[in-house]
Amino acid sequence: MKFLREIKRIFKQFFFLPFNIFGYLFSTYFYDFFLSNKKKIYSGSISLKAKILIYVIFPTNGLNEFHLRTLNYFLNRGYSPIVVSNIKLKKEDQEKIKNKSSFLIERENYGYDFGGWRDGIIFLREKLTMLENLILMNDSTWFPVTKGNDFVNFIQESKLDFVGATSHYGLERPRIPTKREKLKTKFKFNLKSKNFHYASYALSFSNKITKDKNFFRFWKKLRLSNTYNVIVRNCEIGISQWVIKNGSYTHGSLIDSSKISELLNNHSREKLFEVTQNMIVNSVSVKKLLNKFSKSIEIFSKEELISLIMTVISRQIIVFSLIDFLIKELNFPFLKKRLFNLDKDCSKKAIKLVQSLDAPIKEDIFSEIDKSPSLNKFI
């Protein structure tokens, strides 16, 4: 079966090779010359300041309260929002956005979020060198869902040039253990991994980066695509690797995956067992791992529980697998919407988590879920 899957993968790559080559060479030019001129720019009521948020949205079911909640959060912290919508908005939604932003840009949905951020950065070209801070965010998460772990405060207090909320592919990925005694006890964290990157749902850039001419060049020359995997490789991984390889910029994330093991060790064995029960997992191999130990996990030692949790988060992104722990114990302010359309079990655990949030937050999240077929299909 594995052999057949590999043959299918190779055949698929070979079949799409001409399209991928064409896209690699010409996709950005196609957007700039044929689609870019369709975008519309509206002035908002907020003056443009030195701290700017470029907020890319894709409200297929119309604007919701959390879009406005996110904008209010940044307005209260002195940011000027530029909202980029990858879909044409209703007139009433346009007005709501304009009342809480400096500019609204409506564009064709080409290049996903990175296409939207690129348009926003090109729009700001003459002002980039004067910015104090630039934050890129999309609406793939509900933000903020907690109080006390303030993303903007972290950016300011850390004084890092490049900040993400979380990172991916830093933890080494051990083989799935077949026996309890084969659980790995130490996990290396490697920033030099070729796929290491900070998750793109929230990224912050200091003035040191935005005034670098190569920062604008990166975005201007960015190879857009409507293929998700290409976007991840060229854009999401690409921007992190550009910053890291520069060598002169400091970088980090709100949740430091290199310290997760230490954080877990601060909790009791009973708490860690609870963490394992609340992990959200959709990876088939990780599900099999958890099922294998489902009967014996109750007698796992504290060290074994930590090893099991670390094995899971090394193979499934931390904002899925460990989100219950992150929000309840660390006041992590982001909640990924995709948790509701992974599978029935993931959706069930995500609902349980939302029900533990403050009433206004919970109501706004469930309101959006009710209106979205993609989010309520497992409910």
For every residue of 265-297, DSSP letters joined together read HTS-HHHHHHHHHH-----HHHHHHHHHTTTTG
How far does Cα 228 stand from its chain's mean position?
A: 14
**Which pLDDT belongs to residue 295?**
85
Q: What percent of the chain has pLDDT over 90?
A: 79
What DSSP state is assigned to residue 66?
A: H
Higher pLDDT, 30 or 148: 30
- Over range 324-328, report the average pLDDT: 97
The helix-helix angle for 269-278 and 302-315 (nearest 10°) equals 30
Q: Please give the span between the terminal C-alpha atoms of the chain, in angstroms, as a whole number.
A: 33
- Beta bridge pairs of residue 176: none
Does residue 241 sit in the same domain as residue 364?
A: no
- Beta bridge pairs of residue 137: 55, 202
- Over range 70-85, report the average pLDDT: 97
Whether 24 has a pLDDT exceeding 60, the answer reads no
pTM above 0.75, yes or no: yes
Does residue 131 sit in the same domain as residue 244?
A: yes
Would you say residue 184 lies in a domain? no
Nearest in space to 142 (alpha carbons), one of 273, 348, 317, 319: 319
Q: Given 253, 287, 302, which residue is the final one in a domain? A: 253
Would you say residue 58 lies in a domain? yes
Does residue 82 sit in the same domain as residue 223?
A: yes
Would you say residue 130 lies in a domain? yes
Does residue 337 sit in the same domain as residue 234?
A: no
Would you say residue 180 lies in a domain? no
Whether 15 has a pLDDT exceeding 70, the answer reads no
| Torsion 161-164-165-167 (CA) sign | negative
- What tens digit of pLDDT does each residue of 265-323 get? 999 999 999 999 999 999 999 999 999 998 899 999 999 999 999 999 999 999 999 99
Q: Given 231, 253, 275, which residue is the final one in a domain? A: 253
Would you say residue 182 lies in a domain? no
Largest CA distance in the chain: 63
CA dist 190 to 40, 172, 196, 287, 299, Å? Answer: 43, 7, 8, 25, 32
**Which pLDDT belongs to residue 150?**
87
What DSSP state is assigned to residue 317?
A: -
Element containing residue 42 per DSSP (H, E): strand 40-43
* Segments forming the whole domain that contains residue 289: 257-376
CATH number at residue 249: 3.90.550
Does residue 76 sit in the same domain as residue 216?
A: yes
Does residue 102 sit in the same domain as residue 230?
A: yes
Q: Which amino acid is at 28?
A: T
Element containing residue 169 per DSSP (H, E): none
Does residue 164 sit in the same domain as residue 303?
A: no
Instruction: Please compute, for residue 164, the number of CA atoms within 13 A of its CA located in the half-sphere on the CB side.
Output: 21
Whether 2 has a pLDDT exceeding 50, the answer reads no
**Which pLDDT belongs to residue 20?**
52
pLDDT tier at 257, thresholds 50, 70, 90: very high
Would you say residue 31 lies in a domain? yes
Q: H/E/C letters for each residue in 94-162?
A: HHHHHCCCCEEEECCCCCHHHHHHHHHHHHCHHHHHHCCEEEEEECCEECCCCCCCCHHHHHHHHCCCE
Does residue 288 sit in the same domain as residue 249?
A: no
Does residue 243 sit in the same domain as residue 365?
A: no
**Which pLDDT belongs to residue 23?**
53
Whether 19 has a pLDDT exceeding 80, the answer reads no
Q: Given 253, 277, 300, which residue is the final one in a domain? A: 253
Does residue 158 sit in the same domain as residue 106?
A: yes
Would you say residue 179 lies in a domain? no
**Which pLDDT belongs to residue 8?**
57
- Over range 354-369, report the average pLDDT: 97
**Which pLDDT belongs to residue 226?**
84
Q: How many distinct structural domains can be found in the chain?
A: 3
Does residue 25 sit in the same domain as residue 128?
A: no
CA distance 351 to 370: 12
Does residue 289 sit in the same domain as residue 216?
A: no
Q: How many CB atoms lie within 10 A of CB 369?
A: 19
Would you say residue 181 lies in a domain? no
